Amino acid sequence: MKAGILFSGTGPILVLTTHDTFADPGFIKKLEAKGIQKFLVFEVPEDEVKKRYGKHFNVVMGDLYQEDDLRVLDYNGHNIFHNFRLSELGPPVYHEPD
């Protein structure tokens, strides 16, 4: 499982995915299906996400209506910025349609 803070036109969201990378075409197709075509995403350590989101992490992982290849853990930008320091972000992955 990978965790990442994804920035799009509507602001940051914290996502979880089983794809190997955030540049994976399958991951990109999932986002495009949700109307997100242009984005950048920074990986954050999954173990830190589990620690900081605790029970909510388990609830989201147990949600039978979400698919493992893309789960939204948090869509509150203020909360995401409160939970993670910028120094914890991995290198960015950029995507923009041709």
pLDDT of 31-80, one tens digit each? 999 999 999 999 999 999 999 999 988 888 877 555 668 889 999 999 99
Cβ–Cβ < 8 Å for 88, 49: no
Residue 92 CB contacts under 8 Å (≥ 6 apart), including other chains: 40, 41, 42
Report field, pTM of the whole predicted structure over 0.85: yes
* CA dist., res. 43 & res. 14, Å (int): 10
The structure tokens listed for 62 are 């147990």
Task: Please report where in the chains the tokens 């299906």 appear, as a residue.
Answer: 33
